[in-house]
């Protein structure tokens, strides 16, 4: 099952883009448009297939170029340390005719990670390697991430520091399911997370950003380091997000949930050591709540200012909140084995 999220432009746009990129992909022999796509001019991602292979292109506005460059610097630093990472095949982003900039990457033929204990054990080990590499990137990169992260955390806490007040605000905004979930939290997750060791993390380990390459022995490839440019947080945040998006959002059995969580920490402990796994386990529940409070704060801001937010985004976080509650007993029964 292919997992790489991409869309392609029409043949004329693709040919123009390919010429602009100036790669060897000069003969476009396959251009596909996903179902439901109406206007290629709105598309951000392209897959170009030519005589010599394929590339993946992100077309982003000029306002996001600096973040993209910073993300690429982090990704290259991690790759130099031996972690499987997809980095650009051209040294710098290229300006396109419509004002957007092009970031060009090799195409990764890969599959999604199945929610099974063996794959979660492998994933935990690879995330441990990723975290080890992120601690060793150049200090100027780490310092920049820490500064951006502090600013973002302050902004987020300004919107949800008082849980009861935040719940009341969500009620006023007709986000009652979210308000009920926030009201169920006995402690603000940041009170726990702020007491744990922090470092640069990936920040967006969803099923589309962690892939298995199909031409290797289940080698992992990490993609999209944009969130890493502003995520200086406990490692539990990465583990919680990966578990949430790869397991909680898919499985239906509590027993499988518990087995996958145990396997994830088993692999992480092998890669980073038992002390690091224990620290991540200490913050795991708080990290799950933090990962849900963060988008809720943003969604509430959108609702309060009358800006539109896709219905599927509301539904996604509603579903995830339900999964947090549904599988909490299974997770709470598993985590003590890894805590200090």
pLDDT in tens, 149-181: 999 999 999 999 999 999 999 999 888 888 998
212: Cβ contacts below 8 Å, ≥ 6 apart:
110, 111, 112, 113, 218, 219, 220, 221
Q: What is the pLDDT of residues 90-111, one digit of tens each?
A: 778 877 766 778 888 887 777 7
- pLDDT bin (cut points 50, 70, 90) of residue 5 is very low
Task: Determine the pLDDT at residue 214.
Answer: 57
Give pLDDT tens digits for 12-39.
555 555 555 554 444 444 444 444 444 4
Each residue's pLDDT tens digit, 301-321: 988 888 877 777 777 788 888
Distance CA 140, CA 290 (A): 27
Alpha carbons within 13 A on the beta-carbon side of 74:
31
Q: How far is CA 134 from the centre of its chain?
A: 15
Q: With CA atoms as reference, report the closest residue to 158 among 301, 275, 19.
A: 301
257, 287, 282: which is closest to 335 by C-alpha?
282
pLDDT computed for residue 108 by the predictor? 77
**What pLDDT does residue 89 have?**
80
Statement: the pTM of the whole predicted model exceeds 0.85: yes
Alpha carbons 335 and 261: distance in angstroms, whole number = 8
Entry field: residues in the chain:
340
Structure tokens belonging to residue 15? 């040919």
Question: In the chain, how long is the greatest CA-to-CA distance?
Answer: 59
pLDDT digits (tens, 9 = 90+) for 234-274: 999 999 999 999 999 899 999 999 999 999 999 999 999 99
Write down all domains in the chain, each with its CATH number in brackets.
11-107 (3.30.200), 111-337 (3.90.1200.10)
């Amino acid at each position: 099952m292919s997992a790489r999220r991409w869309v392609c432009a029409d043949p004329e746009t693709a040919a123009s883009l390919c010429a602009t990129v100036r790669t060897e992909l000069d003969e476009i022999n396959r251009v596909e448009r996903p179902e439901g796509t109406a206007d290629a001019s709105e598309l951000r991602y392209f897959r170009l297939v030519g005589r010599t292979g394929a590339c993946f292109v992100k077309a982003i506005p000029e306002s996001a170029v600096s973040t993209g460059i910073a993300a690429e610097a982090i990704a290259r630093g991690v790759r130099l340390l031996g972690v499987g990472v997809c980095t650009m095949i051209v040294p710098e982003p290229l300006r396109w005719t419509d004002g957007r900039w092009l970031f060009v990457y090799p195409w990764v033929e890969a599959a999604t990670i199945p929610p099974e204990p063996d794959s979660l054990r492998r994933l935990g080990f690879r995330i441990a390697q990723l975290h080890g590499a992120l601690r060793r990137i150049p200090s100027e990169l780490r310092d920049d991430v820490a500064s951006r992260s502090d600013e973002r955390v302050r902004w987020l806490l300004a919107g949800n520091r008082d849980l009861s007040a935040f719940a009341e605000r969500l009620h006023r905004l007709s986000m009652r399911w979210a308000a009920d979930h926030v009201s169920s939290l006995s402690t603000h997750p940041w009170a726990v997370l702020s007491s744990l060791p922090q470092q640069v993390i990936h920040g967006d380990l969803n099923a589309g950003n962690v892939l298995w390459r199909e031409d290797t022995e289940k080698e992992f490839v990490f993609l999209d380091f944009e969130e890493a440019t502003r995520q200086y947080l406990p490692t539990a945040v990465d583990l919680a997000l990966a578990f949430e998006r790869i397991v909680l959002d898919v499985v239906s059995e509590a027993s499988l949930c518990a087995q996958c969580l145990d396997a994830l920490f088993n692999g992480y402990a092998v890669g980073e050591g038992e002390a690091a796994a224990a620290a991540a386990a200490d913050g795991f529940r708080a990290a799950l709540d933090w990962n849900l409070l963060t988008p809720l704060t943003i969604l509430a801001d959108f609702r309060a200012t009358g800006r539109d937010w896709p219905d599927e985004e509301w539904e996604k976080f509603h579903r995830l909140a339900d999964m947090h509650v549904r599988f909490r007993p299974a997770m709470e029964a598993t985590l003590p084995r890894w805590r200090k």
